[in-house]
Structure 1
Amino acid sequence: MSFWRKVASIFKRDKGGQQGQTSGPRVGDYSQFFGFGTAGTAMSVATVYRCVELLGNSVANLPMRYLRKKDGLFTEDEGARLSYLLKIQPDDTKSAFDFWKETITELLLEGNAYIVPIYNSFSLNLDRLVLCARGSVYHDVYKNTYTVNDLLNGVTGTFSENEIIHLKGYSLDGKSGISVLSYARLTIDTALAGDNETRNRFVNGGNVRGIINNDKGVVGFGEYQDEELQKTATDIDSRFKNGEHIVSLPGQVDFKQISLSSTDMQFLESRKFNVREICRFFGVHPSFVFDDTSNNYKSAEMANVAFLSNTLNPYLRKIENEFLRKLVAPSLAFTYKLEFDRRGLYACDLEGKSKNQAAQISTGLYTVNELRAEENRPPIAGGDKILVSANLKDILAEGNETSKSNENE
């Protein structure tokens, strides 16, 4: 009977599988990857925590604006309900900052972030934006449906593709994302092992481990000799644990160390390598996670530019495009626009901000009063004039003026 049970277990369908779900690990399930736990444990690695925190805060710092095209220009529609939801409070229990930070965190750790727009049943206007709790959404990639069972936020039901905002991480099929942790599992697991080993070394004071045996020239050990050898090993082990470094051994007893020292394992070098390796997966420069590297003003500036253009901006464009195609009708897609105000990136960089404003005025892009309005300053007389730099002249005109002056002389 047991033979047929074994045969039946080979063809037995997994009870946890659902229609449309492929075989293999469930997206967001890290227990099979990390020897020390799940994604929560992975966040205990300082580099992972800092990368996730940096990306989440960077996006949350930028207010998202709901713009409407009028007279050929896009201006913010502050009276719209959607503008309030995106900029101040998307849900009853979340501010806009917490909402965007949690969205990026789920996108990085889970590979997918699901946002359900809830409409008022009477006015049919958008009421709130609900970020679904982790593990509460099942995505059928074949039927393009989303089954939500989020009791925490009070959202249940089955939604079609155009009824839910789906932000995906790196995707192989274009329909579901894969978390960064899934690809960085080996590096993060190594970092976790390094943290665990460091803790053990501090807890036990770097105890030595080894094997104690008798002299190989002596043969015919009996039970009494083995008991005495065990007592000797226990005594020496307790002396090492008590902090002794050099101990004496009885006659005809040999000790061989089997544990590797930190130098042999190149412990510190491997831990430094793990920091940079994790940063590569998240696209964050090591200087942003306070890595001990040689850094100067120029390299820091280039690292900041690379982070904004290569790492942060793709996340912003992903969110902007997904919100636009899910919340705005196709016929109005070129009349309304959703975008993050990227000027917030320089809010604390006063020197860079002043240089940028000076360049905008000198090129005629902004007037003085327009920039003063952004800084919440009252307008000044003559500040509405468009100014341009007059330092550049036509080289031919300069030559003609020189020749005319020579003729006059």
Structure 2
Amino acid sequence: MAIKDWFSRPNSGKAPETRTTIENPTIPVSADNFLAFFGINSANLPAVSIDSALTVPSVWAAVAFLSRTLAALPLHAYRDTKDGPKALTGRLQAIVHDAPNPEQGSFKFRQWFWQQVFTGGRGLAWIERTPQGVDSIWPMDPTKTTIQRRGGRVIYQFGDAAHPVKEYPAEDVIDVPFMLWHDGLRHYGPITMGSKAIQLALAMNDYGSNFFAGGGVPPLALKGPLPASGEALKRAQADIKRSVDAAKGAGESVFPIPPGYDLTAVGIDPAKGQMIEARRFQVEEIARIYQLPKVFLQDLVGATFSNTEQQNLMLVQHLVGQWAEAFEDELNLKLFGRNGGGGKYIEHNLDGILRGDFLTRMNGLGQAVQNGLLTPNEGRALDNRPAMENGDKLYIQGATVPLGSNVAKPSATPPANDNNQNDGTQAA
């Protein structure tokens, strides 16, 4: 069955890999079991899965921001010619720029693809070919794909118990991993590798929710001469609880307790535990997982106009540009082969997210035109403006004349403002 026939996720993931402790292949290699082997009990932190990790606002923001940003980059097909790169038209351009398959537009397909990279750690897509060439590109669910090396060649097995397994050679699969293992097949995922930081963020979310759901009242201990019997102790506890609930329900800050008793808070006060500071630090930790400037996670603490602008440049140069190159590299290799397909190639246009404010952009385009880097029509095209007549010549600063034209030689007639008299002698 073809990939395009189904997209649903499996109900459960793969069975955990088993190995010996260090030498014995019967103990699962997971943090909890590994620590238990040495007699250490791990902290009672919530389990991390892709779905639970996405409930952390900073993880959600990172995945959504990066996937949408990379999906929104214009993607075009070109051919190298003796006159420079030329944009292609036809089927190939429609696949990479408009719709890679009949069911998904380019933005939707690429957003889904990058979501897999920034959650599970790998984006996969299958290239459907016909005798006429590339027909479509279909998404592959990484959780239903097994990668093997067989006879020196990489094979992708796609399917599960409910669907027949099909095999695809590496040359027909677009594969962008977050980071590869030492074997070159398996991969590291950002949520898996950052699970401890995400666990802490989940625990603080849960604690904050429970604390404020309880009206901001922490767990309390009742001190004083406690009743001897268990039933009497339970009644005293119930009385105190009813008093607290009644005070919260009435919006009162004072509630009665029996004479001779005292209530003491149990646990750490969120303010003393630096809960707000810790939650802010978790935003920084998750930004580090994705190598993302924290200003793009809506954390503007310490941000200024100048350093925010620099972070925007850093985002393009050191993050978006690198992932765009990884995707281009896969497309060019798998669509055109090692020989390049007669000079054809796929490339993103990063110009859109490098744009500054209007005045800076106009000054930059003006300098590019005046110094012979862009024709006026090329500069207009960058802002989606229509071409103008006589706008396809390069100009150079000076007299701002077309390149290659004959510049007029100085006239032998003296200029009118040389302060000479009519007879040629200099005026006194």
Shorter-chain-normalised TM-score: which range?
A: 0.7 to 0.9
Mapped contact 2:147–2:157 kept (Cα < 8 A): yes
Alignment of 1:117-128 (within 5 A): 117-120=127-130, 123-128=131-136
Mapped contact 2:45–2:203 kept (Cα < 8 A): no
Cα separation, partners in 2 of 1:151 and 1:69, compared to 1, 3 Å: farther
Which segment drifts farther, 86-95 or 321-330?
321-330
Q: Which residue of 2 aligns with 1:64?
A: 75
Q: Which residue of 2 aligns with 1:28?
A: none
Q: Which residue of 2 aligns with 1:227?
A: 231
Cα separation, partners in 2 of 1:387 and 1:283, compared to 1, 3 Å: same
Deviation at 1:296, TM superposition (A): 2.3
Output the CA distance in 2 between the equivalents of 1:350 and 1:88. 28
Q: Which protein has the bigger helix share?
A: 1
Amino acid in structure 2 at the alignment position of 1:356: G
Cα separation, partners in 2 of 1:237 and 1:259, compared to 1, 3 Å: farther
Per-residue CA deviation, residues 8-41 of structure 1 (Å, 9 max, x unaligned), is: xxxxxxx94799xx9747xxxxxxx972552122
Per-residue CA deviation, residues 322-361 of structure 1 (Å, 9 max, x unaligned), is: 1111111222367122110112224685344323322321
Deviation at 1:227, TM superposition (A): 2.8
Mapped contact 1:346–1:352 kept (Cα < 8 A): no
Amino acid in structure 1 at the alignment position of 2:65: L
Mapped contact 2:48–2:198 kept (Cα < 8 A): no
Output the CA distance in 1 between the equivalents of 2:377 and 2:263. 83
Output the CA distance in 2 between the equivalents of 1:170 and 1:159. 22
The alignment's C-alpha RMSD in Å is 3.2
Mapped contact 2:156–2:170 kept (Cα < 8 A): yes
2:302 matches 1:294: yes
Q: Which residue of 1 aligns with 2:402?
A: none
Amino acid in structure 2 at the alignment position of 1:146: Y
Cα separation, partners in 2 of 1:215 and 1:45, compared to 1, 3 Å: same
Amino acid in structure 2 at the alignment position of 1:282: Y
Secondary structure of the structure 2 residue equivalent to 1:330? coil
Q: Which residue of 1 aligns with 2:174?
A: 165
Provide the identity percentage: 19
Q: Which of 194, 210, 215 does residue 184 from structure 1 map onto?
A: 194
Q: Which residue of 2 aligns with 1:265?
A: 273
Deviation at 1:96, TM superposition (A): 0.2
Deviation at 1:302, TM superposition (A): 0.4
The aligned length equals 363
Per-residue CA deviation, residues 282-317 of structure 1 (Å, 9 max, x unaligned), is: 122122122141322211110101111011111001
Cα separation, partners in 2 of 1:369 and 1:163, compared to 1, 3 Å: closer
Where relative contact order (Cα < 8 A, 6+ residues apart) is larger, the structure is 1
Amino acid in structure 1 at the alignment position of 2:279: R
Mapped contact 2:377–2:392 kept (Cα < 8 A): yes
Q: Which of 146, 156, 180 does residue 146 from structure 1 map onto?
A: 156
Q: Which residue of 2 aligns with 1:200?
A: 210
Cα separation, partners in 2 of 1:301 and 1:138, compared to 1, 3 Å: same
Q: Which residue of 1 aligns with 2:96?
A: 86
2:221 matches 1:211: yes
Cα separation, partners in 2 of 1:231 and 1:135, compared to 1, 3 Å: same
Output the CA distance in 1 between the equivalents of 2:276 and 2:174. 44
Cα separation, partners in 2 of 1:66 and 1:213, compared to 1, 3 Å: same
Output the CA distance in 1 between the equivalents of 2:114 and 2:45. 22
Mapped contact 1:323–1:338 kept (Cα < 8 A): yes
2:241 matches 1:237: yes
Q: Which residue of 1 aligns with 2:391?
A: 383
Per-residue CA deviation, residues 193-231 of structure 1 (Å, 9 max, x unaligned), is: 122222212221122322325449xxxx743xx432321
Cα separation, partners in 2 of 1:264 and 1:168, compared to 1, 3 Å: same
Output the CA distance in 2 between the equivalents of 1:375 and 1:251. 78
Output the CA distance in 2 between the equivalents of 1:42 and 1:351. 41
Output the CA distance in 2 between the equivalents of 1:166 and 1:179. 14
Mapped contact 2:101–2:137 kept (Cα < 8 A): yes
Output the CA distance in 2 between the equivalents of 1:16 and 1:200. 33
Per-residue CA deviation, residues 128-170 of structure 1 (Å, 9 max, x unaligned), is: 1011124121112566211011899x99511222221111112
Structure 1: which 5+ residue stretches go unaligned? 1-14, 26-32, 392-404
Mapped contact 1:150–1:156 kept (Cα < 8 A): yes
Which segment drifts farther, 132-141 or 90-99?
132-141
Q: Which residue of 1 aligns with 2:185?
A: 175
The normalised TM-score by structure 1 is: 0.79
Output the CA distance in 2 between the equivalents of 1:182 and 1:246. 47
Secondary structure of the structure 2 residue equivalent to 1:117? strand
Mapped contact 1:194–1:271 kept (Cα < 8 A): yes
